[in-house]
Amino acid sequence: MEKVAYHFALMNPRLSVTGIFRNALDTSRSLLLITSLAALGCQSNDTPAVATPQAPVGASEYPEGSNQGLRLPFSRILGIPGQATRAALPSPSQAQPEITAKAAILIDEWGWVIYEKNADQRLASASTQKLLLGILIAERGSLNGTITIAEPDTWAEPTVMGIKPGQVYTRGELLKAVLIRSSNDIARALARDHSGSVSNFAGVMNQKARSLGMTNSYFTNASGLPTPPGQYSTARDLSKLGLAALTKPVIRDAVSTKVHTFRFSNGTTKTLNNTNQVLKHFPYCTGLKTGYTNAAGRCLISSASGNGRNVVAVILGSTSPAVWSESAALLSYGLGI
């Protein structure tokens, strides 16, 4: 924990490994990993927190047609520097971090569990589910194609960019903005453009979630807001989502961006500061997605690279600033630093 406190005290860190996930990669490799991600699940365990690896889920739990025999880490498949074989778990001398959030999980790049607490408890996931939006938009492609903003796109709150009906933007610039600043009006615009309506898009989200092995999640919108009601996910499912998101170069670029300038159609600009405080102050963090609603509390899917390892942590139902310090503590524990 002392190391974590030290890293959090660093402002504007310079880190060589933060570019690990930024290498441009061809689409075929990304598609290959999506096929394999269904094989990277983990068995649940009644013990709230464990430090021993959990075996991947059995073949009967994989979506039909998935490649059940392929169990490779995303770094190896994509050619990202990392372990060719599974890295050793943290040594017994490393104390497990104390997590006060309702639920949490820490996995390595193979999808194996390093730590978990209530990982299968159904909870609201808030804007962390925008990573699923990002995957669907990235896979549809045509990111240089344009979207004309419609009136229903602007029916959003409380976090909005302020786009107006009739304005025209590329899908790529809207996708980057929504992953950095989590604007709900942009999420609505991207969902409508993709599937014709937000409700139709929610159905596509649920299909995609199942294909990723997220069997304990249900979504009703693209933003993570509590209306329509009935949304839920789990820390375990969201860790699978985090791994899947990291296979998309356009998503890795966006979630690792600390500050971005968004240009409106009328020429005015807005500076977007990434909502992920761990990215700003923990030098090994490579990004991913925040979330907050009154019902969900503070939520965060975060990733980190270092010491020859790549890890993903999920925290649900936390408070500020605990969500940042506890996420950093999990990432540090997983990297063995």
Catalytic residues: 127, 130, 182
Q: Is 213 helix (H, G, I), strand (E, B) or coil?
A: coil
Question: Exposed (0-12), middle (13-18) or buried (19+): which is 322, by Cβ within 10 Å?
Answer: middle
Cα 280 to Cα 18: distance, rounded to the nearest angstrom: 11
Cα 224 to Cα 231: distance, rounded to the nearest angstrom: 8
Say which amino acid occupies 233. S
Neighbour count for residue 189 (Cβ, 10 Å)? 28
119-123 long-range contacts, Cβ below 8 Å, gap at least 24? 119/44, 119/45, 119/234, 119/235, 119/236, 120/44, 120/216, 120/234, 120/235, 120/236, 121/234, 121/235, 122/216, 122/232, 122/233, 122/234, 123/232, 123/233, 123/234, 123/235, 123/296, 123/316, 123/317
List for the chain the helix, strand, coil content (%; round to 5). Answer: 40, 20, 45
Say which amino acid occupies 87. A
Q: Whose CA is closest to 209, among 111, 136, 118?
A: 136
User: Contact, 242 vs 303, CB < 8 A?
Assistant: yes
Cα 125 to Cα 128: distance, rounded to the nearest angstrom: 6
Tokens of 318: 């936390």
Rounded to 5°, angle at Cα 156 from 153 and 161: 80
Q: Whose CA is closest to 241, among 322, 325, 328, 131?
A: 131
